[in-house]
Structure 1
Amino acid sequence: MTFAIRVAWFVYGIYALLLAIGSFSYSLVGALAFWGRRWPSWRTS
């Protein structure tokens, strides 16, 4: 029983970590798109 609880906490921790990384990357992309829209002169290509 203790081993199952440990495995469940491990899976939950990995899932929470991936969720946090995903939300951070989404907010980072949104911030980059926001600043890119404010200064279009940065987009030289």
Structure 2
Amino acid sequence: MQNQPQIPGHVSADEFNRMLLPPESFAAKPESLTEQLFIERSLEENE
């Protein structure tokens, strides 16, 4: 989907869907931002 021409002033369909759908819709992604922050904080505390 990355090869679609970008129209100036228009968000991509992916960005548009991300705004409309609840965060749970993206749970399939490797890690959410909050999970990444939690993991990074845990690693820093363990050092």
TM-score (norm 2): 0.39
TM-score (norm 1): 0.41
Relative contact order, CA 8 A, sep 6+: which one is greater? 1
* Greater helix content: 1
